[in-house]
Amino acid sequence: MEKIIAPHAWDFGVATTELIKLSSRGLRGGDLSQFVKRSGHEFADRLRDLRVPEGVVPVHQIALGCTEKFGPNRNGDGFKAAACRKYHDTFVKHARPFRHHNNKRSSPYYGLVKESWFNEPMGRVELLLFYNGTEKAAEEQGGLVADQELQKLERGEEISGSMACTIPFDKCSSCGNEAPSRNEYCTEETCIGPHGEKRGGVRHNMMKVCEDGHVLHVDNPDPDFFDISMVTRPADRIAYGARADYLQKAASGGVLSGAELAEQWGVTLSPGTLAARGDVIGELARLERELSVKSASDRSLIRALRVDRLPLSGKTAEDRSRWLRAAHDAQVLLPLSTIASWFHTPEQEKFAQIVESAAACLPGIFGRAALDPSYLHPEFFQPSSLPSTQLKQAVMDEAAASYGLHEHHLRERISRSVIEQWPAPAWRQPVHQKQASADPIGEQLARHYASYQLAWLTKLAADSPEFALTARACVLQNGSVAPQ
């Protein structure tokens, strides 16, 4: 789930953005005293001897306040101190100063997020932004000159800014319901308080003040911030929007949640996520070039991979989303034939032929994707529904042993393959773009499956100790032919 978070949706008592006034010797004298009043000694000490490249303009940004100190913001989003402390550095890792949440990988940006900090005494996440003040600075740091932002700050005006983050789920402050999308927010019937009282649910009563004084909101335990934008129209509960329902809700005094704001602005994917996917595609393309069935270890690994269809219960999009989540949590990579059953009726006469056609297009598919960023669409396979405990247990107990790519499952199947003398699948050669496009149905299904693999592996994360072995298994599975 993506959200827009506006710094001015909290009342910090000061402007959320302010120029840092530096002399040639750094932050000194009256400028230092003024900054200490604004942010305290700890952050000021970090900036005292700050070296700023020529043409770069440093700016201090108060990004968000923790729930314990400030409560939720006006849009009903809360960030506890533990989350602020743990995830503030995602601003540095993934965010850049954009405009109007135009934050795609190729979008223009206007500087860097140089440093982040959780101000413990003040309970705030604060940022040091390096805006590009000249063409030279823009060339060295990347991006464009932040002329509009700096002109407003030099005039003493507030920048109307907002940030975007992505989260796996948020959590109702009353009943604890974990929702990966707004569609799964709790309602009046399901939201029960700690003493059995009904509190209305955040779906329709965000920011409601309950009889005991509790303010109904959602907590965001695992935020990943990927955007900090200047906008001409502030994104908060009375923001202006392009859609009639957006205006109607604002005019009626209803609370626009951070998730609703992201939907209205069309914020979907982060540069950090896109960069991570690019890294994963690059690694998979490299493995496609280097793996070989001449390797004894790779031949053993191929024998341990299951390519036959894993039947799934349920046919709706929500059922599939729950299976995606349960399978990923159990480190089960669903086989091609299972994903194919979501797009083609398994009972139809040509189903096996379609699967075989797609399988023939899989070898080399990540090499083709590396040449064309629009080739795969992993966002289609992002699970948005939490699986039931029963489903999670079923996947863990039944599917993981046969289809799981966790190291201990693979090792166990490799041992069994040797003892029981499982036949080794053959190896397909990579195909080129022209060859793949010659069979459009097979090519389309192959791209669906590779998109699923990419979403699966990106979520696993490249720094996971399981990633190297799992990525290797994916590529080997794509190049193998099931024995008849």
Q: Which residue's structure tokens are 């999670």?
A: 392
Question: Cα–Cα distance between 40 and 374 in angstroms, integer?
Answer: 46
Nearest to 259 by CA among 317, 226, 220: 220
Longest dimension (CA), the chain: 81
Residue pair 91/215 in contact by the 8 Å Cβ criterion = no
**pLDDT number for residue 25:** 60
**pLDDT number for residue 261:** 83
Residue pair 387/325 in contact by the 8 Å Cβ criterion = yes
Which residues, in sequence order, are CB contacts of 319 under 8 Å at separation 6+?
312, 313
Query: Taking CA 115 as the corner, what is the angle to CA 110 and CA 116, rounded to the nearest 5 degrees?
Result: 110
What tens digit of pLDDT does each residue of 337-359 get? 888 888 787 776 788 888 888 98
Nearest to 366 by CA among 275, 295, 482, 471: 471
**pLDDT number for residue 34:** 72
Cα atoms found within 13 Å of the Cα of residue 203, Cβ hemisphere only: 15
Nearest to 108 by CA among 100, 98, 116: 98
What letter would DSSP give residue 317?
A: H
**pLDDT number for residue 400:** 80
Q: What predicted TM-score, i.e. pTM, was given to this entire model?
A: 0.56
Segments of the chain scoring below 70 in pLDDT: 23-32, 46, 48-49, 104-106, 232-254, 265-276, 292-295, 306-308, 311-318, 348, 373, 379, 382-388, 394, 396, 424-427, 429-438, 461-465, 480-484
Four-CA torsion 280, 283, 284, 288, nearest 10 degrees: 170
Question: Cα–Cα distance between 164 and 262 in angstroms, integer?
Answer: 8
**pLDDT number for residue 83:** 94
Question: Cα–Cα distance between 73 and 66 in angstroms, integer?
Answer: 9
Q: What is the 3-state secondary structure (H, E, C) of 205-270?
A: HCCCECCCCCECCEECCCCEEEEEEECCCCCCCCCCCCCHHHHHHHHCCCCCCHHHHHHHHCCCCC
Residues in the chain: 484
Cβ burial, residue 195 (10 Å; 0-12/13-18/19+): exposed
DSSP 3-state of 98: strand
**pLDDT number for residue 81:** 96
What letter would DSSP give residue 198?
A: B
